[in-house]
Amino acid sequence: MKEERSVGAIIFRRDVGRCLFLLLHYQGGHYDWPKGHIEPGEQELDTVRREVLEETGIEDLTIYGGFRETILYFYTRGGERIRKTVAFYLAETSTSEVKLSWEHVGYKWADYEESMNTLTYRNSREVLEKARRFLEQRGISV
């Protein structure tokens, strides 16, 4: 079985006492976080910054140390079963304007509840719940 590794980011910005999370609408119809493959020679945080810039145009990211959540899933491509591991980091931005890449058909900034109702995959919702707890433990209202 082929294995792939990617990294991504749960991106949020503060808005009038709450956090809004950036959800990307992928061409396949699902909503998820920005993420991508680690290129040769890259460290995970380098990949996070590159992928976020490529997929959203966002450059100003503050990545929170102490938050790294991993998910595992399987999918099939060209008849081959692939085991994929994705590590997610939590990042804050002050940018609200998003410049989408060709990979996406839309995006939305959504509060926690709307994000939980919009995210397509259970594991993405679980990572968001962990991010909420992490932020609230640091006194950041979600």
Average pLDDT of the segment spanning 123-135: 97
Question: What pLDDT does residue 1 have?
Answer: 87
| Residue 55 in this model has a pLDDT that exceeds 90 | yes
> pTM value?
0.93
Q: Is 108 exposed, middle or buried (0-12, 13-18, 19+ CB in 10 A)?
A: middle
Beta strands in the chain (DSSP E): 2-15, 18-26, 31-32, 35-37, 62-77, 80-92, 104-110
The Cα–Cα gap between 41 and 140 comes to: 34
Q: Output the average pLDDT for the chain.
A: 95
pLDDT digits (tens, 9 = 90+) for 62-114: 999 999 999 999 989 999 999 999 999 999 999 999 999 988 899 999 999 99
Neighbours of 114 (CB within 10 A): 14
pLDDT range class, residue 36, cuts 50, 70, 90:
very high
The label of the residue with tokens 């061409």 reads: 27
